[in-house]
C-alpha cells in the first residue's frame, strides 16, 4: 500500500478549506440548530462535482472510489462541517445504484443526483430487529401479482427521509422461516418518497445536526420490477457492499471532527494564559492532546486502508469495522480532551466545542454499536466463538 495520495486526491481532501470560505462552521451550526438541511452547501458541493465522486462518468459522476469519498468527508470534517448526507446518499445509495442498477435506473436517477437535483435516503433499521438485520420481518408481506409486490411495514431512524426524493429500502421478500440461509430472501427496492402509501414522522433527537431522523411507515406501497435493485431475494450481498462504505465514511467524520477539536484546543491553549504562562505549556493538558492526536492519526490510517481495500475489490470487513471502532473512540477522546482544555468556555455556545461531542458520541452507538463491532472482530478475525 502506498501511503502517499495523488495530487487529485490531495485536492479532494483539501476541498473543505475552499468550501468553508463560503459556507463555514457557523453556517453549518445555524442549520443544525434549525434542523434545516444545508441545501446551499450541498448544492455547492454538487456543482463542484463532489457529490457524484463514486458514480461512473457516463452517468455524470467522477468515476472515483471509496478512498476519494472518505478523503472528501474527512477534509470537510477537518473544518468542522460534516456533511452527513454524503453517507446515506452519495456513498451508500448512489454508488449502489451505479454498481447494481439497470441501465434504465442509472440513466433515470444518477445524472440528476450528481447535479444535486435529487437526493437518496437509505432505510434498513427496524424497531423490532435493530442490529439483527437478518431478522427483518415487516416488509414485503405480499404475494406476487404479475411481477409486482406490495410493501408494508415500518423503518426507524431513517436519515433525511422527508427531504430526500428517493429511498432505498432493504426488504425481506421471502420470510425467514422459508429460507435455507438467514441471509437469503432479501430484496432492495428504490421508491419515490412521495409515493402513495408512505408516511414519514420526525423523531425528536437530542443531537443538533441538519439531517433529521424519521420513522417511515409503508402501507400497501406498489412495487414493480422497475423498483428492484439487483435480483429478487439476492439483496443481502448488495447490502453488505454498502455497509462497509458506511463504516468507512463514518470513520472519516470522526477523525475529521477530532482534528477540528484538537486544532481549536491547541489555538486556545497557546493563547490562554494562567499562572503567567500559556496553559498549553502544562503537561496535564499537553499529554491528553498529544494522545488524542496520535489516536486520531492511527484511526485515520486504518480508515484509509479499509477504503483502499474496498476499491481493490478485496475483503475489507475487518478493516472497516476496526476503522469505525477506532475512529469513534478517538473522536470522543479528542473532543473530550479539547473540552477539558477549554474549561468552562468549552460548554458555551460562543466557543462551540461541546456541540461536537454528541455527534462523535453517536457513532459509538450507531449505525452499529461498538459492542457488535468488537464481536465481529473477535469472531471473524480472531477465530473466537460466536457470542450472540
pLDDT digits (tens, 9 = 90+) for 249-266: 999 999 999 999 999 999
Rounded CA separation 373/377 (Å): 6
In this prediction, residue 135 carries a pLDDT of 62
242-301 pLDDT, tens digit each: 899 999 999 999 999 999 999 999 999 999 999 999 999 999 999 999 999 999 999 999
Nearest in space to 161 (alpha carbons), one of 195, 129, 130, 128:
195
Tell how strand 166-172 and strand 213-223 pair up.
Answer: unpaired
Q: If pLDDT is split at 50, 70 and 90, which confidence band does 127 have? A: confident
Domains 7-118 and 237-381 share a fold: no
- 146 CB contacts (<8 Å, ≥6 apart)? none
| Whole-angstrom distance, CA of residue 265 vs CA of residue 335 | 9
Q: What is the pLDDT of residues 31-49, one digit of tens each?
A: 999 999 999 999 999 999 9
Q: Hey, where are the domains in the chain?
A: 7-118, 121-233, 237-381
What superfamily does domain 237-381 belong to in CATH? Butyryl-CoA Dehydrogenase, subunit A, domain 3 (1.20.140.10)
Contacts of 213 (CB under 8 A, 6+ apart): 157, 158, 159, 161, 202, 203, 205
133 pLDDT higher than 80? no
By mean pLDDT, which of 116-125, 144-153, 371-380 is the weakest? 144-153
Closest Cα to residue 34, out of 217, 273, 208, 239? 208
Query: Looking at the domain 7-118, which fold is it?
Result: Butyryl-Coa Dehydrogenase, subunit A; domain 1 (1.10.540)
Asked if CATH classification 2.40.110.10 holds for the domain at 121-233, the reply, yes or no, is yes
In contact, 156 and 202? CB cutoff 8 Å: no
Amino acid at each position: 500500500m502506498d501511503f502517499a495520495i495523488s495530487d487529485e486526491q490531495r485536492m479532494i481532501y483539501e476541498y473543505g478549506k475552499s468550501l468553508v470560505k463560503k459556507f463555514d462552521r457557523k453556517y453549518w451550526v445555524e442549520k443544525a440548530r434549525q434542523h434545516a438541511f444545508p441545501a446551499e452547501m450541498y448544492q455547492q458541493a454538487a456543482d463542484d462535482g463532489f457529490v457524484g465522486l463514486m458514480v461512473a462518468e457516463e452517468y455524470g459522476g467522477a468515476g472515483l472510489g471509496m478512498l476519494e469519498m472518505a478523503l472528501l468527508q474527512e477534509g470537510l470534517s477537518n473544518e468542522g462541517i460534516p456533511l452527513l448526507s454524503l453517507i446515506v446518499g452519495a456513498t451508500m445509495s448512489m454508488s449502489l445504484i451505479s454498481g447494481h442498477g439497470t441501465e434504465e435506473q442509472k440513466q433515470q436517477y444518477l445524472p440528476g443526483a450528481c447535479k444535486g437535483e435529487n437526493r437518496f435516503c437509505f432505510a434498513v433499521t427496524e424497531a423490532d430487529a435493530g442490529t439483527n438485520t437478518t431478522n427483518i420481518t415487516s416488509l414485503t408481506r405480499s404475494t406476487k401479482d404479475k411481477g409486482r409486490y406490495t410493501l408494508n411495514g415500518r423503518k426507524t431512524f431513517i436519515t433525511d427521509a422527508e427531504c430526500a426524493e428517493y429511498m432505498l429500502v432493504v426488504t425481506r421478500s421471502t420470510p425467514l422461516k422459508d429460507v435455507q440461509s438467514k441471509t437469503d430472501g432479501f430484496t432492495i427496492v428504490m421508491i419515490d418518497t412521495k409515493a402513495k402509501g408512505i408516511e414519514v414522522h420526525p423523531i425528536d433527537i437530542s443531537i443538533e445536526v441538519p439531517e433529521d431522523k424519521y420513522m417511515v411507515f409503508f402501507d400497501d406501497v406498489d412495487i414493480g420490477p422497475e423498483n428492484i435493485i439487483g435480483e429478487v431475494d439476492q439483496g443481502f450481498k448488495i447490502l453488505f457492499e454498502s455497509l462497509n462504505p458506511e463504516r468507512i465514511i463514518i470513520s472519516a467524520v470522526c477523525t475529521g471532527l477530532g482534528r477540528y477539536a484538537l486544532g481549536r484546543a491547541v489555538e486556545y491553549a497557546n493563547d490562554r494564559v494562567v499562572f503567567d504562562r500559556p496553559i498549553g505549556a502544562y503537561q496535564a493538558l499537553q499529554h491528553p492532546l498529544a494522545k488524542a492526536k496520535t489516536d486520531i492519526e492511527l484511526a485515520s490510517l486504518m480508515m484509509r486502508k479499509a477504503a483502499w481495500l474496498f476499491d481493490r475489490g478485496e475483503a475489507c470487513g475487518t478493516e472497516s469495522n476496526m476503522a469505525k471502532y477506532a475512529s469513534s473512540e478517538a473522536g470522543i477522546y479528542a473532543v473530550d480532551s479539547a473540552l477539558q482544555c477549554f474549561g468552562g468556555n468549552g460548554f458555551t455556545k460562543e466557543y462551540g466545542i461541546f456541540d461536537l461531542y454528541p455527534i462523535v458520541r453517536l457513532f459509538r452507538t450507531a449505525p452499529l454499536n461498538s459492542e457488535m463491532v468488537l464481536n465481529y472482530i473477535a469472531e471473524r478475525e480472531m477465530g473466537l466463538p460466536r457470542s450472540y
